[in-house]
Amino acid sequence: MKGGFIFTALLATTMLVVSGLAETPRLISYQGRLTDTSGEPLPDGAKSLRFIIWNDPAAVAPANELWNSGPVTVTTTDGLFSINLGQSPMTALDPAMFTDTLLWLGISVGADPEISPRTRLISAPYSLSALYADSARVTTDRYVNETGDTMTYGLFWALGSSAVDAYIKEGTSGGANLYLGTNGRTGAFLIGDNSGKLILRDQNGIGGAEIEASSVAGGRLHLFAPDNSTRVSISAGENGDDGGSILSLNKGEYTAVMTLDAGGSGDAAVQFPTGAISSGEMKDEAGLSSTESSTAFVFSSGSGTTYTVDSVSITIPAAGYVIVEVGGYLNAFHTNGTTTQFYVKSDKTAGTSTTSPGVHVVRIPSAWPSTSTVAAGYPIHASRLYSETSSGSKKYYLNIYYSSGESTSCNLAYRFIRATYYPTLYGTATLVANAEVGGPSVMMGDPSPAASPVTTTEVITMEEHNARVEAALAEQREALEARMKALEDRMQQIDDRRETDAGFGQ
């Protein structure tokens, strides 16, 4: 090569194809860079180049030359230049030569020999050959004119293979449909027939996504799993005040596990899997579990015994607080000269005899007359606050300690035990541990007070509660992030395998 410089050629990724009227020239946009032997760009200014399109990578016979630009002058800036091949005064490009899929571009600089090797022309220049087709009806030439021409059949492209890779075809309702693919497999559909629709498919021709417009359901989006089952559906909804948009997340084919329906009401508007909502997401949502019975429970073993009358279980979604209420109607038979006394309370252990905060005490003084035939009736209600530090099933008991008395016929009727869960603390909660004796009492005329309880207390502030909730939410977020990372890794493995199978990038 003369002049001590080399040529670095860059064929533009986008070839400029100018269609329009038949006499309009067809152009190929080309870019290159001139450098010296050390790789430095040549000085800015005018340079003379020649471009030739060949049907062979090396042959130089006149029969192999399909098009010659002749000497053309380009202006370089930092060695870079651009040119539209086929632009006047160069010879116009004939689209017919691009029906040959094996073409090469030769380039020479000034009087130097042609640069070796030649550059093969691929992809974009061949769109020039699509400017005319066997199915196009023209009046005076074989090209599709900008105005006046009508396509009466489908238009088909085979790009680099014998299989049809793209075509425009009339649909069943008379509209036009566009199909794009590779090696005979359709990867994308643009449907103009009837309602508009865009369909995307994977390399196996299944799965993917669909976007469609419907006069009944409005705009709709469907996302498919690799097994072609519909996993995500979004619908704009029907016309009218009752029609609302719908989001459905499915497990399997149309098996909805999560649904948001703007047209629904109450619980029907939002549907989630069981146990999917945490306390942090529910905020001030409370939960309730209750056990009730109208059958009387008889303290048949007499006094000095602790009875477990009933129990209740509640499953809480996260750490929080549970208020347990117990109650009923106590029928007590009393003997003069003996103090009759009951402690009614809730506890997390069956059969405990110690008293505790929230205990209800019924005491009939020894001086009271006997009630051997007609029981003395006392309404009972006691409540207690529990702090639960973890989620799961919790169980609480209605215990009654019959501490003194002589009757074996005393009983508790219309009893209940009720547990209510609260995830949020808005103030300060004071928790008092079980005491050995005493507690609040109903004196029933006995002038002597109950013994003072021996207790321990724990105070939980709102800040401490919020810290506890944040810690629980952090654990949930960490677990969710780990699941998302595992899913992303799995999706990347699938994508890598698909690219390998399809030969992408080769």
What pLDDT tens digit does each residue of the chain (506 aa) get?
333 444 544 433 333 333 333 444 477 878 887 777 777 888 888 989 999 999 999 999 999 999 999 999 999 888 888 888 888 889 888 877 877 668 889 988 888 888 888 888 865 444 444 444 333 333 334 455 556 555 555 666 666 555 566 777 777 776 777 878 776 677 787 887 777 888 888 777 777 888 888 776 678 888 888 777 777 888 877 655 456 788 888 876 666 677 877 777 766 777 777 656 544 445 557 788 999 998 999 998 888 888 999 999 999 888 888 999 999 999 999 989 999 999 998 888 888 766 666 788 899 999 989 887 888 889 999 888 888 888 889 999 999 999 888 888 899 999 999 999 988 777 777 765 544 333 333 333 333 333 333 444 566 666 776 677 677 767 777 877 777 777 777 777 766 665 665 544 44
The pLDDT value recorded for residue 117 is 86
Cβ-contact 200, 181 below 8 angstroms: no
Cβ-contact 285, 423 below 8 angstroms: yes
The pLDDT value recorded for residue 37 is 72
pTM of the model: 0.41
Round to whole Å and give the CA distance between 195 and 482. 42
The pLDDT value recorded for residue 256 is 67
Round to whole Å and give the CA distance between 103 and 99. 10
The pLDDT value recorded for residue 10 is 41
E strand spans, 423-463: 429-432, 457-460
Cβ-contact 302, 347 below 8 angstroms: no
Q: Which helix (H) or strand (E) holds 287?
A: strand 287-293
The token duo for 39 is 């790789």
Check the CA dihedral 10-16-17-18 and report its sign: negative
Cβ-contact 9, 107 below 8 angstroms: yes
Q: What is the DSSP track for 361-421?
A: EEEE-TTSPP-SSSPEEEEEEEEEEEEE-S-EEEEEEEEEEEEE-S-S--EEEEEEEEEEE
Round to whole Å and give the CA distance between 402 and 339. 11
Cβ-contact 312, 410 below 8 angstroms: no
